[in-house]
A and B are shown apart, each in its own frame.
Chain A
Amino acid sequence: MKYRNIWEISMNFIPIAAFFLALLIGAIMIAILGISPLVAYQALLKGAFGSMNAIADTVVKATPLLFVGLGICIAFRAGVLNIGGEGQLVTGALSATIVCLAFPNLPGWILIVIALTVGLLCGAIWAGIAGFLKAYFNVNEILSTIMLNYIAAYGMNYLLRGPIMDPLQIELGSFIPQTARLTQAVDLPRLIPTRLHFGTIVAVVFAILVYIFLWRTTIGFRIRMIGQNIQASRASGINVQKYMVLAFIFSGALVGLGGAIEVLGVHHRIFTDGSVSGFTGSAGFNGIVAALFGQLHPIGTIPASLLLGALLTGANKMQRVVQIPSALIGALNGLIVLFVVGSEYLRRSQTRRMERTAKVKNISKNKNKMESK
């Protein structure tokens, strides 16, 4: 890639600047709460990277963010906003759990493959509903995906309080809404003796696959094309509706897979606290932040999810050490989104200005040529 000037190079650091600006505002908020920001951020840093376990936890936390972020990359590149990460994570996780509960006697690795596939498919279907409604009924996809989040969450609550509740909970009379622990045969292999599991590798492989998919395949090209210019795509004979639905399906498939991997790799069961984000820990929303932070590029989303994973893991430590609620990170994530989308304009207007000067230069160049003839 060639850069024309320093300004253009610096544009690529906007997300980093947004990140630090958000941290700065966070520091001010912490100071207002009467706590030293330095101490707080030190605790955060230590919580995220302080030990082998902390680093592993950061990576584990980043994994679902990467899956959601990849899904978001595909959808946003197609020009549709899939805000249904939460719901797709839940459907993916729930269906994978149900499969594992239903066939406990299958050999472990077969069950893992089936469970992950089912999770992927259910996530795809859940997002596909929103895609179908958007493409053929022109239903605003942001609203439909949000509604599907709530529907999935309440569906999960119903199942966990009744049909698939842990029999032990019923026996003990404690009625905690969660399933039984899945058979250990379906635990994803650990990489090192920490909580780090094989799912992380799957996520990184998928990041590369998504990159190849979007930039090296026809479907990927068409998906990006409808995102760039829907009229031109239609004029060139692309079935816009079909590719819109496909973008949602691929997007939801990745998120659903992420949900299934959360179950098999981390929790080994599904549980709820009644709210929408009880199981997901808001990964469905934070994944959007990761994708935007990674400039909607699958490879860029990898470090972006790591960074956000570190923030979230560190925030738990910060909450324990200096009593700053981890909700702070939620607020900062919102700010990061606002800064990143807000700064897009600067980038666009700068590009336009440069194009204009380039045009003027060309014209005068041609003029000179003509005159010299």
Chain B
Amino acid sequence: MEAIIIGIARSAIRLATPYLYASIGETIGQLSGVLNLGVDGVMLMGAFSAFYTVLKTGNLILGLLVAIVVGGIFGLLIAFINVTLKAEQGISGIGVYIFGLGLSSLLFRTMIGTVQAVSGFSPLSIPLLSNIPIVGEIFFRQNILVYGAFALVPISWFILNKTPLGLSIRAVGQHPEAADSLGVNVVRIRYLTVILGGMLSGIAGASLSIALLNVFQQNLTNGMGFIAVALVYFGAWRPLSVLTGALLFSTVNAIQIWVQVKGINIPSDFTLMLPYIVTIVVLAAMAKRYVRPPKALNKPFERGE
């Protein structure tokens, strides 16, 4: 029994990784007032580009860097459409998703063709800490991207709440006119957050294709990017609560995988359905709380004359 729980907990920590990168990136973007629903498409592009690079060169760090660059380029595209062209953010996000899904499938079919595996990041035991019974096994024998994802939570919290940049980001999301009148460059801040969000989505995708699953196939993420956006609502735009949400989902996933592997007699379709049902229930349960989204979320900024 203990082994089972340790196993599930360990894989829950691992599986939280893509959610964490994508949700934290989305949190920062939304706090500055930009709703990016194209996360899933960007994740797919990140996953593909990292996988392809590793397949061809075997260099994991290079793969990760390529994913970051590709994610950043997508972030730039999203920022241009939403911030400069002031597009309706819900629809443009769907456009980005369809584009990313189509492009990653196209590239996969033409450049790779068949489902192959690469050897991804291997677990990195942290000296001393990994020797602690149970805790060490669960937390400190993971791969580097997992550590990075968890480190991102306090880092993003610190930046958002304790630095002038964080203050500017939140101001731009709450009241862009006021921020503008105080000399904050609204457009620049929003570009910055959205590009950063794109890079983090790229890493999220890479964490799937070169660290957790080590394969790439069409629509690899299976809607994970949308769940990541849902986690931002769940976490009420606070990195720590986003972490809680990510862990909730990864635990559901870990249990679901365990049930499948063990061949327990529940149709796998029901267990696969579970994360999506949980998302809806959680969104509905959270909606009545006294938490307000950033006031300028989904509203393009226009300077008065």
Residues of A bordering B, CB below 8 Å: 29, 33, 81, 83, 133, 137-140, 142-144, 146-151, 154-155, 157-158, 161-162, 275-276, 285, 288-289, 292, 324-325, 327-338, 341-346, 348
Contacts and interface: CB of A to CB of B under 8 A. Distances in A.
A28 to B, nearest CB: 13
- Most B CB atoms within 10 A — which of A142, A161, A348? A142
B273 A150 contact: yes
A294 to B, nearest CB: 14
Nearest to A343: B85
B97 A327 contact: no
Given A142-B37, A151-B273, A155-B273, A333 B98 contact: yes
B102 interface: yes
B95 interface: yes
B62 interface: no
A345 B84 CA distance: 9
A276 B97 CA distance: 15
Given A150-B223, A342-B92, 20 more contacts: A137-B287, A137-B288, A138-B288, A142-B226, A143-B226, A147-B226, A147-B227, A147-B280, A151-B276, A154-B272, A276-B219, A288-B91, A288-B94, A327-B218, A331-B99, A334-B41, A334-B95, A334-B98, A341-B92, A343-B85
A325 B94 CA distance: 22
List of 7 A-B pairs having minimum Cβ-Cβ separation, nearest first:
A334-B99, A330-B102, A337-B95, A331-B102, A334-B98, A327-B105, A158-B269
B292 to A, nearest CB: 11
- Most A CB atoms within 10 A — which of B92, B99, B287? B99
Interface in B88-116: 88, 90-103, 105-106, 109-110
Contacts of A333: 98-99, 102
Nearest to A34: B110
B276 A147 contact: yes
A292 B102 contact: no
A168 to B, nearest CB: 22
B269 A327 contact: no
A7 B114 CA distance: 49
A331 B96 CA distance: 9
A342 B83 CA distance: 10
7 contacts: A33-B110, A144-B283, A151-B273, A162-B267, A288-B94, A341-B95, A345-B87
A333 B105 CA distance: 13
Contacts of B223: 146-147, 149-150, 276
A133 B280 contact: yes
Contacts of B102: 327-334
B99 A137 contact: no
Contacts of A158: 267, 269-270
Contacts of B81: 338, 341-342
A154 B98 contact: no
B130 interface: no
B233 A328 contact: no
Nearest to B285: A137
Contacts of B283: 133, 137, 139-140, 143-144
A334 B93 CA distance: 10
